[in-house]
Amino acid sequence: MKKLVKIYGGTEGHWVGDGFPVRSLFSYHRDAAALSPFLLFDYAGPHFFDPNVEAASAPRGVGQHPHRGFETVTIVYDGEVSHRDSSGGGGTIGTGDVQWMTAAGGIIHEEFHSPAFSKTGGPFRMVQLWVNLPAKDKMSPAKYQAITTDDIPAVTFDGGSVRVIAGAFEGTQGPATTFTPINMWDMRLEADAEVTLDLPDGHNAMVAVLSGHVSVIEDGAMESLGEAEIGRFSVEGAGVTIKANGAAMLLVLSGEPIDEPVFGHGPFVMNTEREIRQAIDDFNAGRFGAVAA
């Protein structure tokens, strides 16, 4: 079995633009090798937005900005987010939908509340992950995967259910295509449910609690994880046993580590400082393309 190594969390947050009240639960700036292939975990919400009477001229969100060298994965639990990017990707994702954007060699994008959600307001909750790319793929063409809730298979088990976004759960394959082996499971547990997650030996693995409270069972002892906390487990061993103390909503992550240097600056994550300088030069020279009007 894997061992619980570290718990990430915190209540302090910040705003990304004026549309996303975010808590950054982990970042590669501190534990790059132990988190790999994951780089960043932003938990936006839960938050309630009033109707935006200025939505037509000033929608809430974040304007055009670049990325290079990694992927962003956005999972919406409440609310709606509209996206456009310089690869031609875009659309609106709502409850249960996933946006998997591969920045790779360079992309410019923008994210705003959808016109419908802006008009009505309401509860808002989402997760955005940054997922690293191996050096050989960092300059691949940018692309966009729009994954609707209907595309995501669900598996039920005694005491809960899981939606398989990427990788596989009990033989059910998720729809997302990835550059390295990754599991991403959107899980719900009923009160007192106990489950052993088949997280592979050799993968970095994490359990993020988005709501509720769970206990990690390890050698007869229990370690608690509450809302907006993430348990990181050892790369060695296979499997993690958890028990829900009341209904819980989790995001379970595992991935094969990318054993390469990580050098990041702002919206760029590469392997060397020289590559970061090149990314800045390419962006300033307009080589990332443009978002269509």
- The pLDDT tens digits of the residues spanning 230-279 come to 999 999 999 999 999 999 999 999 999 999 999 999 999 999 999 999 99
Instruction: Give the confidence band of 175 by pLDDT, cuts at 50, 70, 90.
Output: very high
Nearest to 59 by CA among 74, 47, 49: 49
Nearest to 13 by CA among 63, 47, 51, 53: 47
Torsion angles phi and psi, residue 86, rounded to 5: -80, -5
Task: State residue 55's pLDDT score.
Answer: 87
Q: What is this structure's pTM? A: 0.96
**Considering the chain, what percentage of its residues have pLDDT values greater than 90?**
95
Q: What is the mean pLDDT of the chain?
A: 96
Percent of the chain with pLDDT over 70: 100
Residue 49 to residue 137: CA distance in whole angstroms? 38
| pLDDT, position 128 | 98
pLDDT of residue 136: 98
Query: Which pLDDT belongs to residue 122?
Result: 98
Query: Nearest 5°: phi and psi at 51?
Result: -55, 145
Residue 111: is it exposed, middle or buried by C-beta count within 10 angstroms (0-12/13-18/19+)? buried
**What is the tens place of the pLDDT at every residue in 65-94?**
999 999 999 999 999 999 999 999 999 999
Tokens of 80: 């709606």
Name the H helices within 48-131.
Answer: 115-120
Give me the pLDDT at residue 187, please.
98
Task: Say yes or no to pLDDT of 1 above 90.
Answer: yes
Neighbours of 215 (CB within 10 A): 16
